[in-house]
Amino acid sequence: MTSSPTKLFCPGSGDRKLIEKYGVPGPRYTSYPTVPQFDSNYTHSSYRADSEKYLQNNIAPLSLYLHIPFCQNICYYCACNKIVTTDYSVSRQYLDYLSKEIRMQSALVGKHRNVMQLHLGGGSPTFLDGAELTELMHMLATNFSLSDSQLREYSIEIDPRTVTQDSVALLKGLGFNRLSLGVQDFDERVQQAINRRQRFGLVQKLTETARLHGFKSISFDLIYGLPLQTLKTLETSIEKIIQLSPDRVAFYNYAHFPTRFTSQRAIARHDLPSAEQKVDMLGLITTRLVDAGYQHIGMDHFAKVNDDLALAQRQGRLQRNFQGYSTCLAPDLIGIGVSAISSLPESYAQNETVLDDYYSRLDQNELPVAKGVLLSLDDRIRWAVISGIICNLELNMGIIEGRYTIVFSDYFTQELLALKPMENDGLVNWDNGTMRVSELGRVMLVSICRVFDRYLHNNTVIKFSSV
Ligand code: SF4
């Protein structure tokens, strides 16, 4: 892929106006159509039929996602599907139900497909203790074909407060080779305001231990726009990140929706940085991380230039699924656990999001699918366009025309017109039928993608965090 011009996003130079112009709310496009378009007309029978049609006779590698919903403390900013409890016996019951779903999914897909990607997310997967995690991996190994390839990507989200150096060693022994650490911010006052206290020394020690045990990739998840965060505190946190040198960094934008997420009511609105300060924070994050040798993958994601993710993007083969960016070793994704989402070639399916409903469906010997969507041809064409932009920062009209037998300029007449102002403002540039996103445009990727989102044009009322 040709590199785009290297003008970085800089709030002081007029780019702030562009954020005001294009920074409208939009989905994060981990799928298209996005989750608000899923409905209950897609049932467990639809999922079964699609799995039999697309998954059984396929020999391509497989991707698995397992959702562990429990956390021992509430972080005030949280908008995840989680259950906060200090009753550790809940995980015993959950594992029993997971085991049932794993066996049902395995019976559908068969054991012949090599699992090249595995991700444990939550909640906090490390709510499970060492014995439970071992039991879970044993269940998966019994029912699926887990890969022992060096190229496999087996990752787990870590709450640093719930793991020790010994548990890091255990995770390596269980086959994980990637760790994702929830960091959020290193400033103590900010940590107190979000009810998530974890010393820098703790994250430092875990990072060093993970390196010692040969983990292939370490990611940090951080948030900007948190209460009491200032440019100064954020700058100090970024320096600490650079010092620890994780392979990947995700810097999410905090979205304050206290009416929707009750824990956010503990955050005082007057402690939050203003929209203007957040734009400055975004500029600071982008500049500092790129200067420190990270590639800006797009939106809020950064990876070291020699990381697989950065490499995949430069080679135009980056993909996106419900876990975010992926190097796509395995195209089909099976989601297991409460609220988990599966991605099949022509459909998406989401499990029950309430734990009792999830249990009750499994008690009836049904796959716990609650809703989903069958992809139309138009959905697939638009996802090819959107995922090309959001992952590989380009749109090649010829490739889309060849794959779907359409005349791009006829099919997307309105969309091409809508892109014109973005071209004039330097967010994208065209060269011989290929549109490329500039460095500046990477900050506003969602706004570029949403041009192709038919459901947003249909005025569907959906609440998203501002870009
Ligand atoms: S942010 Fe993570 S650890 Fe905190 S409550 Fe939410 S899911 Fe649990």
Q: Which atom of ligand 1 is closest in space to residue 82's alpha carbon? A: 7
Evaluated on CA atoms 83, 86, 89, 91, the torsion sign reads positive
Q: Which atom of ligand 1 is closest in space to residue 184's alpha carbon? A: 1
Pairing of strands 332-336, 347-351: unpaired
CA of 40 to the centre of ligand 1 (A): 28
Do residues 91 and 320 touch, judged by C-beta distance below 8 A? no
DSSP secondary-structure letter at 265? G
DSSP secondary-structure letter at 271? G
Evaluated on CA atoms 288, 291, 292, 298, the torsion sign reads positive
- Please give the Cα distance from 325 to 302 (Å, whole number): 11
CA of 196 to the centre of ligand 1 (A): 9
**Which backbone phi and psi does 297 adopt, to 5 degrees?**
-70, -35
CA of 388 to the centre of ligand 1 (A): 31
Give the model's pLDDT for residue 51: 92
Beta partners for residue 394, in sequence order? 436
Give the model's pLDDT for residue 4: 40
Nearest CA, atom 2, ligand 1: 123
Q: Which residues, other chains included, contact 20 with Cβ-Cβ below 8 Å and sequence gap of 6+? A: none
Residue 33 Cβ inside 6 Å of ligand 1? The answer reads: no
Quote the tokens at residue 408.
């791009």
Residue 122 Cβ inside 6 Å of ligand 1? The answer reads: yes
Residue 123 Cβ inside 6 Å of ligand 1? The answer reads: yes
The SS3 assignment for 103 reads helix
Domain spans of the chain, in order of start: 11-27+377-457, 35-336
Residue 79 Cβ inside 6 Å of ligand 1? The answer reads: no
Compute CA 329 distance to the chain's CA centroid, rounded to the nearest angstrom.
16
Evaluated on CA atoms 220, 224, 227, 230, the torsion sign reads positive
- pLDDT, mean of each 10-residue run, the chain (467 residues): 48 71 82 95 96 85 96 94 92 97 94 94 94 98 95 94 94 97 97 96 97 96 97 97 97 93 95 91 93 92 94 90 82 95 95 98 98 97 96 95 96 96 95 93 91 79 41
CA of 246 to the centre of ligand 1 (A): 21
Class of domain 11-27+377-457: mainly alpha
Residue 74 Cβ inside 6 Å of ligand 1? The answer reads: yes
Quote the tokens at residue 143.
């029912």
Q: CB count, 10 Å around CB of 204?
A: 15
Half-sphere exposure of 395 (CA within 13 A, CB side): 27
Residue 124 Cβ inside 6 Å of ligand 1? The answer reads: yes
Of 124, 157, 254, 353, best ligand 1 pocket probe by most atoms within 8 Å of the beta carbon: 124
Give the model's pLDDT for residue 331: 83
CA of 124 to the centre of ligand 1 (A): 7
Q: Which residue has the tokens 């709510």?
A: 127
CA of 316 to the centre of ligand 1 (A): 33
Do residues 400 and 407 touch, judged by C-beta distance below 8 A? no
Give the model's pLDDT for residue 317: 87
Instruction: State the pTM of this model.
Output: 0.92
Compute CA 148 distance to the chain's CA centroid, rounded to the nearest angstrom.
24
Output 442-445 pairs: Cβ under 8 A, ≥24 positions apart.
Answer: 442/9, 442/296, 442/297, 442/298, 442/299, 442/393, 443/9, 443/19, 443/282, 443/286, 443/299, 444/18, 444/19, 444/22, 444/23, 445/298, 445/299, 445/389, 445/390, 445/393
Q: Which residue has the tokens 């979000």?
A: 194
Q: At what angle do helices 355-363 and 90-109 cross, to 10 degrees?
A: 50
Per CATH, the number for 35-336 is 3.80.30.20
Give strand ranges (E) for 100-247: 114-122, 145-146, 153-158, 178-184, 217-224
